Structures are given as structure tokens and as C-alpha cells.
């Protein structure tokens, strides 16, 4: 005989009584109580999952989905700065086919190549990452770089060959313009190439990558290919596809063998949600779900206890102390909350799938809410907290139970 055995036995009695009622002794009120907690916890899981999605995802700031076709050895985590390794070929032809698809808003091969630039007027030199894209009139960014100031006529490749008029246009990140002492309209040269480039616009921010900011310029794809020798097989590192229709994704995967299709909204990894909105949402969800859960469990367990006061009196008659009877009541309340929590996590997971499917079909974001092991643990911990917070009311009712009165009624 030990206190621990006694404690485990008393807590186990509470659990057994709940399970026994659910298995047929008196399932009605207990089932309703568990369902109530389950709904509250499911709400918590979904809203917190959305909050996590908002906090972690780069997809939600844009109505567009950007897919990146990348050679599979490039990996999904290196999209912004993958400049070496396997490349995609015949990219202009493939991109032209993609652009004919009505579901696709914009498509462009992307080349990322290091270039050494020199300002002949000042002698300043700078190594930069050059981002080659097919220009467009639309206000778009690729790798954080605005490309709308580049001539959309794309004259150097206008007839499908690399022999058109050299535009030499480029957009520079602020740091590049500063280090080369460049202003819009001024010209620089590319080391080891007989070509000059003219600055059309200074970008409003630096290109960011996982490791920090990168000195970068954006320029017409074909001209960068020509400067770097990638024009021989019409090669690019990746192909960017912007769409509002997630059904495109499966088709993109089949264009090239051994490629991955990566989904994200911005190549530069711009913070999607700079505010504390996700935290506020998660907090609000916890408070609302917790409040609903506590009120529901306290009320239903109070009713359950009122109907079963005689059973508490029997416990007293067979030698259960007041403290042990209170522990039985707390154990039952927490057990109900935990069972509701487990069911709620399941319901929440289903609801998360539903929310994501609905959001994907409505506004094209493939994954808004997320569910993680940590979130499941959080939800179960919240369920336990609901049980503990709801316990005082049934405990109060239990303390008012008159053993003799109940046994002789």
C-alpha cells in the first residue's frame, strides 16, 4: 500500500467511470460533453493552423501562385541563388508553350549567373548576381527585382534567335548602383564581354536570399544567356510560372524529366506577414476555444455530477476521503476534456484539409493552414487546461453533497 498506488487508483477510478459511462452505463450527457470539447479544440486547431500558415508561408501575400520548375538536383531550398549544376534546355520554346495556356498569367525562364560589372567612368568594379528573365509590362518582381522597366519587346530574341537588337537594359539593386556609382541612364561594361549595359531603374530593395542580401541586377534573359554562353542550348536554371490555378502544377512536373516543381510566391522569400496578426489569431483562438470548452465542460459535468451525487455519497460510505472524492471529480472532468481534445484534433485535421481545399479552389493558395506535431501537442495541452479550469464548478457541487441525505433519499 502506498500513496502513489492510492493516487493512481483514485485517478484511474475517475477515468474508468467516464469510460464506463461512454460504453453504455450513461453515455448521453458524457458524449455531448466530449463533442462540445471536440468542437472547441477543432476550432483551435484550424485557426491556430491558419495562424501558423500565415506566419510561416510565403504564399499568402499574393493572389498568385509561383511555381518553379527546377532540376531535381537543385533542390527546393535553393531556388533564389541556384546558379550552377543541372540546367533546363530549350527554355524559350517551352515557355512559349506555357504562355499559350490561359491558366498561366506569366512564365519566364530564369538564369542566375555571376557577372563582373565595371563602370568605365569611375573604374569601379563589382561582382553581382545577374537574374535573366523575359521582361513583361506587368508590375512583377522576380527575385525581388522589379522587371517592368525592362523593354517588353525583348528585341534581342524577337525573331526566335539571338541576333536581334541588343537592348543592354538592366535593373540594379540599390547596393549595386551605389558601389558602381551608377544613376539611371548610365552605362557600364561587362568584364570579358564586348557588351555594355544601361541602367534603366534602381530597384527599391535588395535581393534577399536565405543567407542575407545579395548584390543583384535583372536583365533580359536572352542577353544574359548570350553573355554567359547559355544561348547555345537555350539554357536556364529554372522556369517561373505564375498562375491562379493550382491544377497547373501537375502538368508542369511532366515537362522535363528529373525536375521538381516548387511552389512559392516570391523567389526572394519576402516576409509574408510582417505584423503580429498570426500570433493574435492564435491567441484569440485559444481564448475563444478555451472559454467555450471550459463553459461547456463545467456546465455538462456539473449536470452529470448533480445527477450522480449519490455515487459520490457511496464513495464516502465505502471510505473515500473528501480529498479522494474531489480527485475523482477532477479526474473525470480532465478525462472528458482530454477525450474531447483527441477527437477535436482529429476533427481539426479534417477541417484543416477542408479549409486548404476550399482556399485552393477559391483563391489559388494551395496550403493555408498547417498542422504539425507541436500543434497537436498544443491542442491536447489546451484540452487538459480546459478540464482543469472547468473542474472547480463540479468540485463546488461535490463539496455540497450530503452523504447521509443522498444515501437515504
Partner 1 sequence: MIGAGGPTVKALDAVSLSVSAGEVVGIAGPSGSGKSTLLHLLAGLDTPTAGAVTIRGTDIAALGNREQTRFRRDNIGMVFQRFHLLPALTARENVALPLVQAGVKRQQRRKRGSDLLAAVGLADRETHRPGALSGGEQQRVAIARALAADPAVVIADEPTGELDRDTGEQVLNLLTEISDDRAVVVASHDEYTLERADRVINLLDGVRQ
Residues within the interface to partner 1 (CB under 8 A): 1-3, 5-6, 9-10, 12-13, 16-21, 24-26, 310-311, 313-322, 324, 403-404, 407-408
Burial class (CB in 10 A: 0-12, 13-18, 19+), 249: middle
Q: Which is nearer to partner 1, 247 or 321 (CB)?
A: 321
Least Å distance, CB 386 to partner 1, is: 22
User: What is the smallest separation between the CB atom of 310 and partner 1, expressed in angstroms?
Assistant: 7
Q: CB-hemisphere CA count at 13 Å for 289?
A: 33
**Cβ of residue 394: shortest distance to partner 1, in angstroms?**
16
How far apart (Å, rounded) are the C-alpha atoms in residues 383 and 389? 10
Residue among 24 and 77 whose Cβ is closer to partner 1:
24
The CA-atom distances, in angstroms, between 372 and each of 89, 149, 289, 375, 378 are 38, 42, 19, 5, 10
Task: Please tell me what DSSP assigns to residue 59.
Answer: S
Are 270 and 66 in contact, with CB atoms under 8 Å apart?
Answer: no
Q: How far is the CB of 325 from partner 1 (least distance, A)?
A: 9
Rank residues 357 and 407 by Cβ distance to partner 1 and give the closer one: 407
CB of 35: closest distance to partner 1 in angstroms? 19
Other residues' Cβ atoms within 10 Å of the Cβ of residue 50:
23
Least distance to partner 1 from the beta carbon of 14, Å? Answer: 10
CB of 6 to partner 1, least distance (A): 4
The CB-of-313 to partner 1 minimum distance in angstroms stands at: 8
Instruction: State the CB neighbour count (10 A cutoff) for residue 8.
Output: 11
Query: 319 or 373, CB closer to partner 1?
Result: 319
DSSP class per residue in 88-138: B-SHHHHHHHHHTSTTEEEEEEEEEEEEEEE-TTT--EEEEEEEEE---SS
Least Å distance between CB 2 and partner 1?
6
Closer of 198 and 403 to partner 1 (Cβ): 403
- Dist CA 176 CA 220 (whole Å): 18
Q: What are phi and psi of 31, to 5 degrees?
A: -65, -45
The residue (of 16 and 205) whose beta carbon lies closer to partner 1 is 16
User: Which SS3 state, helix, strand or coil, does residue 276 take?
Assistant: coil
CA distance 244 to 217: 27
CB 30 within 8 A of CB 336: yes
**Quick one: 32 or 253, whose CB is closer to partner 1?**
32
Residue 311 · residue 25 · CB < 8 Å: no
Residue 65 phi/psi, 5-degree rounding, is: -110, 130
Q: Which is nearer to partner 1, 24 or 257 (by Cβ)?
A: 24
Q: Which is nearer to partner 1, 122 or 402 (CB)?
A: 402
Amino acid at each position: 500500500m502506498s500513496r502513489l498506488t492510492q493516487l493512481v487508483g483514485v485517478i484511474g477510478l475517475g477515468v474508468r467511470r467516464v469510460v464506463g459511462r461512454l460504453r453504455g452505463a450513461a453515455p448521453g450527457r458524457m458524449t455531448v460533453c466530449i463533442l462540445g470539447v471536440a468542437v472547441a479544440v477543432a476550432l483551435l486547431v484550424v485557426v491556430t493552423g491558419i495562424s501558423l500558415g500565415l506566419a510561416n508561408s510565403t504564399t499568402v501575400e499574393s493572389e498568385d501562385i509561383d511555381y518553379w520548375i527546377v532540376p531535381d538536383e537543385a533542390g527546393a531550398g535553393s531556388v533564389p541563388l541556384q546558379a550552377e549544376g543541372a540546367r533546363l534546355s530549350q527554355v524559350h520554346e517551352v515557355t512559349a508553350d506555357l504562355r499559350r495556356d490561359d491558366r498561366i498569367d506569366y512564365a519566364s525562364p530564369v538564369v542566375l549567373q555571376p557577372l563582373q560589372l565595371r563602370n568605365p567612368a569611375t573604374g569601379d568594379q563589382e561582382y553581382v548576381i545577374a537574374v535573366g528573365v523575359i521582361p513583361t509590362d506587368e508590375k512583377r518582381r522576380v527575385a525581388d527585382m522589379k522587371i517592368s522597366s525592362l523593354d517588353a519587346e525583348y528585341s534581342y530574341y524577337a525573331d526566335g534567335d539571338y541576333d536581334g537588337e541588343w537592348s543592354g537594359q538592366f535593373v540594379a539593386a540599390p547596393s549595386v548602383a551605389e558601389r558602381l556609382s551608377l544613376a539611371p541612364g548610365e552605362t557600364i561594361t561587362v568584364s570579358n564581354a564586348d557588351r555594355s549595359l544601361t541602367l534603366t531603374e534602381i530597384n527599391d530593395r535588395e535581393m534577399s536570399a536565405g543567407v542575407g542580401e545579395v548584390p543583384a541586377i535583372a536583365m533580359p534573359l536572352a542577353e544574359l544567356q548570350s553573355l554567359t554562353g547559355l544561348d547555345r542550348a537555350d539554357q536556364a536554371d529554372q522556369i517561373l510560372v505564375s498562375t491562379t490555378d493550382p491544377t497547373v502544377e501537375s502538368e508542369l512536373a511532366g515537362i522535363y524529366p528529373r525536375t521538381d516543381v516548387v511552389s512559392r510566391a516570391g523567389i526572394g522569400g519576402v516576409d509574408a506577414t510582417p505584423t503580429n496578426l498570426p500570433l493574435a489569431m492564435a491567441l484569440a483562438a485559444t481564448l475563444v476555444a478555451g472559454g467555450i470548452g471550459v463553459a461547456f465542460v463545467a456546465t455538462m459535468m456539473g449536470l452529470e455530477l448533480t445527477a450522480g451525487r449519490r455515487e459520490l455519497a457511496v464513495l464516502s460510505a465505502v471510505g473515500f476521503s473528501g480529498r479522494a472524492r474531489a480527485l475523482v471529480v477532477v479526474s473525470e472532468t480532465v478525462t472528458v476534456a482530454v477525450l474531447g481534445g483527441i477527437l477535436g484534433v482529429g476533427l481539426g485535421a479534417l477541417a484543416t484539409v477542408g479549409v486548404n481545399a476550399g482556399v485552393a479552389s477559391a483563391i489559388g493558395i494551395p496550403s493555408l493552414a498547417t498542422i504539425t506535431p507541436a500543434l497537436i501537442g498544443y491542442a491536447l495541452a489546451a484540452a487538459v487546461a480546459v478540464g482543469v479550469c472547468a473542474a472547480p464548478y463540479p468540485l463546488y457541487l461535490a463539496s455540497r453533497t450530503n452523504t447521509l441525505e443522498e444515501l437515504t433519499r
